[in-house]
Chain A
Amino acid sequence: MPAGPARPNAWRGPLLRALFVVALPLLLVVLWWFTSDGSTDVYWPPLRTILRTFPDVWTRARLRADLVPSLLRLLAGYASAAVVGVALGTVIGSYRKVRAVCEPVLEFLRAVPPPVLVPVIMLFAGIGDTMKIVVIASGCVWPILLNTVEGVRALDSVMSETARSYGITGPARMRSVVLPAAGPQIFAGLRQALSVGIILMVISEMFAASNGLGFTIVQFQRGFAIPDMWTGILVLGLLGFLLSVVFQLVERRVLGWYHGLRDSSRRSP
């Protein structure tokens, strides 16, 4: 990697970095703006039209009616998946016998594409909020569970022996030895689960719902309200982006010690 100018002035570094961050997105937006400007294609409306439609469509009332329920379902499903996944994963990961018994079944269950669960869960839970929360939870749980199993399994034996010889057992061992050691793996699972969760949130609302982002966007598409549909796609994109930023912030806070350790070991060859 060429390191750029050998010794950038104090102000040039940040400025240059900021330029790098905004240059391409700006360029793409400008490109989209001008190439679509004269567009008469119904499906690709000019960006100008989309942006003009945006505030009309996503009013405060609509955000409350569609975005909030979607987010609450996502949160409920994701949180329950996290609790169940980490708890079960810790148990399965800690006992070699249990792991051997469960592994093939878990591998199979994980391999089932989560969206096909929507029709099944609709049978049991109808088409209400419960169905959507269960769908989200049952899709998100596998990456969390399996990553927790891997993380707990790979627990450093020296560390766990040391903890034992100091008499650290039970909940204390869980809190200060097992979970921190498996933390990076657990967060890898949580990250995968987040994108699965968003997908399932949208899909479950596309199937059967009376509100929510997925429902509204499909509604626009069926009504051939194309610019409105585009604004919906933008909202989903922004939502995905924001959630991943929030996730990163949380991860950096919780796993701060780990990233610091990794960075310092990377710096010193």
Chain B
Amino acid sequence: MSRKQPRAGGSAGRAVNAALGAAGLAAFLALGEVVPRVGIVKARYFPPTSRIARALGAEITDGTFWTDLGDTLTGWALGLVIAVGAGIVVGVVVSVVPYLREATASTIEFLRPIPSVALIPLAVLLYGTEMRSVLLLVVYASFWQVLVQVMYGVRDVDPVAEETARSYGLGTWARVRHVLWPTALPYVMTGVRLAAAVALILTVTAELVIGAPGLGARIAVAQTSQAVPEMYALIVVTGLLGLLINVGARSVERHALAWHQSVRGEVAV
């Protein structure tokens, strides 16, 4: 999303922006230090930044923290992979087979807005605190993000290109590979990016509420044992994780679509 900005030229503008951003971040952290110290909020509820940083340091040196982080990441990655795979396969099949799209539209519109957390009680009953509980929620929530984007993408296929491929006698598979997939890829990537963020939210939520091992469960433990700075430190970790996932997903997107953006950049003058 690098829109050209008037005046703020190239790398100089970027450096200024980075400096301003760093200043903003520093101000934010300083505010977090000062507000509880001055007593605007109780330090017991909102510990100063330095206290949270110390708790974060203690967490990092704790071996169980890394196990929990690993559990969270495993649940996230596994759920995301399943959801993306299923979303792409179902999305392409539904859009390519005649009438299937119309036949499934109402069902998809109905199932999609069902909040995944509605499945929490069911997950608890079926799988208890196993990872499968987490996966059930993560896959359900992320699947729709991918599916809907894939379907938008397929709808966007240029009918002329499609007809041309047909008249050249390309089979269904070849048409999917050479016409449909390149058109749909940007949409798929958007879907994957959204799904990656949703998957993290649901992973942590499931751990927090159900108690499946991971960062979420660790936050719940910190909360019930009144370890407030530790709780904040863990929340910061989940935020950093989310940030990394967002940034990572965007760079994957840019990478996979390098050809696409450059083409679009030339056309849209």
Contact = CB atoms under 8 A, between A and B. Distances in A.
B79 to A, nearest CB: 14
Interface residues of B, number: 69
B118 A115 contact: no
Query: For A21, A104, A105, A113, which residue has the most chain B Cβ atoms within 10 angstroms?
Result: A113
Interface stretch (B2-10, B83-91, B170-178): B2-10
A105 to B, nearest CB: 5
Contacts of B28: 105
B239 interface: yes
Given A113-B242, A221-B121, A123 B228 contact: yes
Interface in A112-127: 112-120, 122-124
B30 to A, nearest CB: 12
Given A111-B243, A113-B200, A229-B122, A236 B103 contact: no
Contact of B106 (A21, A114, A206, A207): A21
Interface stretch (B61-69, B181-189, B215-223, B255-263): B215-223
A11 interface: no
Interface SS majority for chain B: helix
A169 interface: no
Contacts of B243: 107-108, 111
A218 to B, nearest CB: 6
Contact of A233 (B45, B121, B126, B246): B121
Contacts of A25: 106-107, 110
Contacts of B169: none
B113 A17 contact: no
A240 B115 contact: yes
A100 B201 CA distance: 26
B129 interface: no
A116 B235 contact: yes
A237 interface: yes
Contact of A113 (B16, B125, B205, B220): B205
A13 B135 CA distance: 41
Kindly list the 3 A-B residue pairs having the minimum CB-CB distance in the complex, ordered from nearest: A111-B242, A221-B121, A101-B24
